[in-house]
Amino acid sequence: MENRNFVSIPFWQVRVQTEKAGIPFVALSGERYENRQNADAVLRLLQENKTLQVQSVKKKEVNQEPPLLYDLTTLQKEANSKHGFSADKTLSIAQKLYEAKLTTYPRTGSRYISADVMEEIPELIKSLEQYSRFASYAGEIKNTPLNIRCVDDKKVTDHHALIITGNMPKDLPSEEKTIYEMIAGRMLEAFSPKCVKDATSITLVCGDVLFEVTGSIIKQAGWRKVFNEKEDNEDEANNLPKVCEGENLPVIQSEVLEKQTKPKLLHTESSLLSAMEMPCQRGQSQTCLDMPSAAGIRQRQSAGKEVENEEEREAMKESGIGTPATRAAIIETLFAREYMVREKKSLVPTPKGLSVYEIVKDKRIADVSMTGQWENALARIESGEMQPQTFHRTIEEYTRQITTELLETSISHTGENNCVCPKCKTGKIRFYPKVAKCSDANCGLIVFRSKSEKQLSDKQITDLLTAGKTAIIKGSKSKAGKSFDASLKFDADFQVVFDFPEKKLKK
């Protein structure tokens, strides 16, 4: 809803290029200007002065600890963001690797291993010398002191974090190879030294206008050497020259950049898994206050705040929606019930999904903190601090409350959305499991969901009704059983017909 209702606002920044000792670099104005005239005034100032003065230079050493080992949810998130795998696909592949005795039990919620498992790690690292992608790095660290950040008996649940078994894979299919290398590579990263960087922040001034640039240089790659991947937010201007405060630098080039504020991104499966793991971190209408965490502390986690600290993530896991083993199935259920659809990597709610959201968003049944409170109560029962009967009475009262709320809710036709019938222009389109049809019985417009062995989604039908045409639907089957790709559209009599894409002429 935030994304759909967002109104973009334009703003302007000034970009200036300078150099020192033959090393060019670019800085941006610290201020975002709400009108073009102010930005143009800064541009004229730069063109007239032709110099920038170094106001401040700040340097610091940054130590980046290696990531923790994978649990299932983290593996699913990264497989989605890096390789586009669905959560369900990642779980299926991880299960195959486990059954082939190549990796450990996949349905784990822990990112730690116990001290006794740690004793096996040196041999597991040594075994990767036989695996071509990791052979060189495994040989480098096998005889060095290993990082023990992810070794903690107290944080191991029923199953420890995902690691390899030491059995070498042979001729794995491409997707299984991808997940295996993610798990093996993460194991190498987790036990590697930290990454050490020199970070530099330079502030330049022209008149009273400030310009800023940051950069960093890796001194010791440490765990980052395993995959040699750039960080998502890694600065483009990594190699900044040495400059001194008070020094004057030339203005080589300057320009005004027009930009626009952007809405909060739609969820991907990766970000949805994060939100399910820690539902207080994004997009909640309420603030999660005084919710006991697994670590026994009282969290005051505001709605919308991202949880960056991995230890804090671990502490908040008890409040999550579902478990590592069930989250993929929950997401697939939302697809199956047509509450949302995939558009590239984004997850887009359907009219049906938005209708459900509007009905339950303020109800107790949608209070995500409730499961965390239940988990805490069950832990107290286990430790003898609470009587089971007390918890049972709480559940009974909760059930009465949500039942009363839902019975008192005034619900319009659940299959009706705001689509006006394109044929009669007065009726509303109602969606049913097998058809969508006009609410005006005299109109007679009907769209069957099943078309050439493809089931049309709510979104595809909505596109047909509002735009007169769907996007290309791939994999439809002719009566002869041949597969083809085509859009759907209405003909002059509002019958649904195929619209085949024009074939490009070969040059």
Residues 34 and 146 in one domain: no
Of 138, 183, 180, nearest in space to 163 by CA: 183
Residues 83 and 221 in one domain: no
Rounded Cα distance between 42 and 14, Å, is: 7
Residues 126 and 31 in one domain: no
Residues 92 and 171 in one domain: yes
Domain endpoint, select from 167, 190, 213: 190
Structural domain count of the chain: 4
Residues 133 and 204 in one domain: no
Query: What is residue 413's predicted lDDT score, i.e. its pLDDT?
Result: 46
DSSP 8-state class, residue 84: -
Is residue 47 a part of any domain in this protein? yes
Give percent of the chain with pLDDT exceeding 90: 54
Is residue 282 a part of any domain in this protein? yes
Q: Which tens digit of pLDDT belongs to each residue from 290-313?
A: 333 333 322 333 333 334 455 555
Query: What single-letter amino acid sits at 316?
Result: M
Q: Which pLDDT band, with edges at 50, 70 and 90, does 39 fall under?
A: very high
Q: Which pLDDT band, with edges at 50, 70 and 90, does 4 fall under?
A: low
Domain endpoint, select from 260, 283, 308: 260
Residues 80 and 133 in one domain: yes
Pairing of strands 483-490, 248-250: unpaired
Q: What tokens appear for 488 in the block?
A: 């759907």
Q: Which pLDDT band, with edges at 50, 70 and 90, does 287 fall under?
A: very low
Is residue 328 a part of any domain in this protein? yes
Calculate mean pLDDT across residues 94-121.
Answer: 96
Domain range holding 165? Answer: 72-190
- pTM beyond 0.75: the answer is no
Q: What tokens appear for 168 in the block?
A: 């070498």
Q: Which tens digit of pLDDT belongs to each residue from 40-89?
A: 999 999 999 999 999 999 999 999 999 999 999 999 999 999 999 999 99
Q: Are 428 and 439 in contact (CB under 8 A)?
A: yes
CA–CA distances in Å: residue 23 to residues 26, 240, 247, 344: 10, 7, 15, 40
Rounded Cα distance between 277 and 266, Å, is: 17
Residues 237 and 308 in one domain: no
| pLDDT, mean over the chain | 85
* CATH number for the domain that contains residue 154: 1.10.290.10
**pLDDT of residue 436 exceeding 90:** no
Is residue 79 a part of any domain in this protein? yes
Domain endpoint, select from 231, 260, 289: 260
Residue with tokens 């320009």: 255
Residues 39 and 82 in one domain: no
* CATH number for the domain that contains residue 361: 1.10.460.10
Is residue 36 a part of any domain in this protein? yes
Q: Are 328 and 112 in contact (CB under 8 A)?
A: no
Is residue 277 a part of any domain in this protein? yes
Is residue 298 a part of any domain in this protein? yes
Is residue 507 a part of any domain in this protein? no
Decide which of 368 and 340 is more confident.
340
Residues 329 and 246 in one domain: no
Residues 279 and 256 in one domain: no
Rounded Cα distance between 227 and 245, Å, is: 37
Residues 273 and 399 in one domain: yes
Calculate mean pLDDT across residues 253-266.
Answer: 92
Residue with tokens 């505001």: 302
**pLDDT of residue 401 exceeding 50:** yes
Residues 94 and 167 in one domain: yes
